[in-house]
Amino acid sequence: MTEASTMNHSVVSRDKWLAERKTLLAQEKELTRLRDQIASKRRALPWVRIEKNYVFDTPEGKRSLADLFEGRHQLMVQHFMFAPGWEQGCPSCSFMADHTDGMKIHLEHRDVSFVAISRATLPEIERFRQRMGWQFKWVSSNGSDFNYDFGVSFTPEDVAKGKLHYNYGVWPLAGEEWPGISLFYRNDAGEVFHTYSTYGRGVEVMMGTYNMLDLAPLGRDEDNLAYGMAWVRHHDRYEPAPAASSCCSAHA
């Protein structure tokens, strides 16, 4: 934000600010209650039994979908956009993944395992994961139908049509890979069920940085970008952050 735009923002007394803040607080509480209601409805969705035997390449060898639960009842999957032959994973999916390692131990203590799944080969995944310094589990679905069945990868024929069936509707953008998050449940009999998937902006649930930016005076500050996440880089590809400067030094 420029100094001029800062000066154009309304500046009021503390009492006036407090009155407006309380009005906003009432709306925030309404949103919190609505979020709780939606979460309850999400948990009440029916489940779909997984009948297909999906097999993944992992650092420990071939593993089934049931194996990825690692003894827990719930599994959270990040559908990470990384196709075979790509030099690196998607920057936006990497932005999501940057938030994962810190929350992993907390998820596990709530009976939830986490795994990222991509169509890239395991050596491609491992090379990029090591570059990024991530510790979470990341496996390859290369050679299986998993990504296609869960609506995050598309054939060249699909892409050539110019419209994809993505996010429970017709997606106007073409591309072989798109992001998503899927949840699964494994019962004590070993049966696996698909319980929920979200796509598009639904994946922002993994983007803790966005939640924090939404609190900041400038918010996400993306209105003048070519597209919303145009500013995002792989965390090892950002330029050094601009040095802080004072108003006095700016006018020196």
Q: pLDDT tens digits for 111-139?
A: 999 999 999 999 999 999 999 999 999 99
pLDDT digit string, tens, across residues 38-75: 999 999 999 999 999 999 999 999 999 999 999 999 99
| Fold of the CATH domain 48-206 | Glutaredoxin (3.40.30)
Q: What does the pLDDT read at residue 172?
A: 87
pLDDT digit string, tens, across residues 143-179: 999 999 999 999 999 999 988 999 999 998 889 999 9
- Could you give the percent of the chain with pLDDT greater than 90? 88
Three-class secondary structure assignment of the chain: CCHHHHHHCCCCCHHHHHHHHHHHHHHHHHHHHHHHHHHHHHHCCCCEECCCCCEEEECCEEEECHHHHCCCCEEEEEECCCCCCCCCCCHHHHHHHCCHHHHHHHHHCCCEEEEEEECCCHHHHHHHHHHHCCCCCEEECCCCCHHHHCCCECCHHHHHCCCEEECCEEECCCCCECCEEEEEEECCCCCEEEEEEEEHHHHHHHCHHHHHHCCCCCCCCCCCCCCCCCCCCCCCCCCCCCCCCCHHHHCC
Does 7 score more than 80 pLDDT? no
Q: What does the pLDDT read at residue 250?
A: 47
The closest alpha carbon to 81, from 162, 166, 193, 157, belongs to: 166
Dig out the tokens for 158 from the structure.
């699909």
The closest alpha carbon to 132, from 59, 230, 58, 234, belongs to: 234
Q: What does the pLDDT read at residue 143?
A: 95
**Residue 12 to residue 27: CA distance in whole angstroms:** 21
Does 109 score more than 80 pLDDT? yes
Q: What does the pLDDT read at residue 173?
A: 87
- Average confidence score pLDDT of the chain: 93
Q: What does the pLDDT read at residue 3?
A: 45
Kindly report the pTM of this predicted structure. 0.91
The residue ranges of every structural domain in the chain are 12-44, 48-206
* Cβ pair 17, 26 in contact under 8 A: no
**Residue 78 to residue 90: CA distance in whole angstroms:** 12
**Residue 97 to residue 101: CA distance in whole angstroms:** 8
